[in-house]
Structure 1
Amino acid sequence: MSIQSINVRNQFRGKVKEIIHGPVVSEIDVETPHGIVTSVITTRSVEELQLRIGSEVIALVKSTEVSIAKV
């Protein structure tokens, strides 16, 4: 399957830096030119996508809310 078009505007190309496997969900760290993007996805998806350290991926971010905290 290849993506021909998508409505998600926040896209970050990068490589998988770390995978923390869990029984149901796994945490994926993607190193992008702008920093690290972390995603929590099902472990089944990690296996089906054959994600490995160094895999080239696109992190797609779509959110209905972005919160800001002043430090």
Structure 2
Amino acid sequence: MRLSTRNQLDGTVLSVTRGEAMAVVRIRLTGGDEITSSITRDAADDLGLAEGTPVKALIKSTEISLGVE
């Protein structure tokens, strides 16, 4: 499948925490950095996400906020 999203990062699922409607998915990217994604529980189930599942994180954002102390 070819996608228009240019920010595509390979990784592996570290954990999936399922709530009533949403799931929080922790991913270790190639290189060792970790990111977290919140998706619907139905999407996590449909994708069969579990610890060790290889994934591609597709990042499409119009805003990135930063903060410092």
Q: Who is 2:39 aligned against?
A: 41
1:55 partner letter: T
On the 8 A contact 1:37/1:59 being kept in 2, the answer is: no
2:14 counterpart of 1:17: yes
Residue identity in the other structure for 1:20: T
Give 2:62's match in structure 1, choosing from 61, 64, 67.
Answer: 64
* Deviation of 1:63 (Å): 0.3
Aligned length in residues: 68
CA distance in 2, matches of 1:34, 1:9: 20
Identical columns (%):
31
Runs (4+) of structure 1 exceeding 3 A deviation are none
CA distance in 1, matches of 2:10, 2:43: 18
Question: C-alpha offsets along residues 9-52 of structure 1, whole Å, 9 cap, x if unaligned?
Answer: 11110100011110100100010125111100011111111111
Root-mean-square deviation (CA, aligned residues, Å) is: 1.1
- TM-score (normalizing by structure 2): 0.89
